[in-house]
Structure 1
Amino acid sequence: MMFIDNRDIQSMKIEGVVERIINFNKCLNDFWSNAFEWAPLEAAQLLSKSRLDWQVSLSKCLKLWVQNNNEDIENESGRLILAWANLGSLVEGTMKLFLSIFYNDYKDDIDAIRKGDKLIDPDVLDLERMRHFFKKRIWEENYKWDEWVLHVQHRRNAIHAYRNREIGTFEEYYKDLRNYLLFLRYHNERFPYPDEVSIPRF
């Protein structure tokens, strides 16, 4: 496994981070949405019907939240809530992609998410149950991904709230955009590509 070096992410302008996220998710869509030639059949079928193109579209929408818009101060809370919702959807989509790629392993896992005796496929899982599964079966503890995803999840949930919720600041949001690029790298390094040429590197 390659060591994930995030020094380039920390020194990059936030606009550059967003461009890398867009290109990363575009490459993931281009490759994984048509994996019938070599991926296991059930995984390929699941990936082919998943809307990975929406991950690309949502990635492009991140540009809306990094534009300097000093004239829109009165709407900053609304913009920030929508920005968190945007990021939370991307995080959820990346986790669903992971489980779809490893569908055969997931469905045979003793901790696979079920409703009664029926397996819940990755494309219909909610973030909360996925997070618990990833914490138990996928993520190494030293990466602190569970803590980070829970943080983004809480911020994202403000979009459902009428009562007051903590939404943080855009500075915090930009930090988490950098973390999302790192999150993409972490999971991508575990994907079973058929050769080195196929691996996206952003």
Structure 2
Amino acid sequence: MRKVIVSTYMTLDGRVDEIQEWAVAYNDDRAAKYHSDLLMNSDGLLLGRNTYEIFATLWPSLKGELPYINKLNSMVKYVASTTLKALSWENSHLIEGDVAEGVAKLKQQPGQDLVLYGCHGLMHSLLEHNLIDEYRILVHPILLAKGRSFLKDGAERVNLDLVDTTALGGGVTILTYQPVR
């Protein structure tokens, strides 16, 4: 069975807003290798509308620059949205009907893992239905003190096991957790 892996950036105080304003300064060769390894071991992306719109305007224009960017552009993208009617990014498909049901079916299909970038609406929906198998949180050494937290207020508690830690450059640490089932 395929795994759903959430990969997201977070500040030390648990904030996930305005990523483009603080995370870019920490992107180095080790971060690129992390993303490359993650994508090369995956064959599908799960994206909410907001993340899709950001990615679809950025990544196609960078085609050819790095192998992981080429992989990101060419791999299948499953988009959860009730407002988008057409998707322009290559190999993008809307998840029709109930998103949790659609992702559960994708997990049952043969193939490599599914990566979910971002941590808002889609992640919360999959979390509520116990469809997330792993969290890879890239914790950045920043205290933002404002913005959205990783989990929305009122979310159910989730117990996790720490299964790996990886230090990147600039004080960024990848914490890999799996839900206690």
> What TM-score, normalized by structure 1, do the two folds share?
0.26
**Bigger relative contact order (CA 8 A; separation at least 6):** 2
Question: Would you tell me which structure has more strand in proportion to its own residues?
Answer: 2
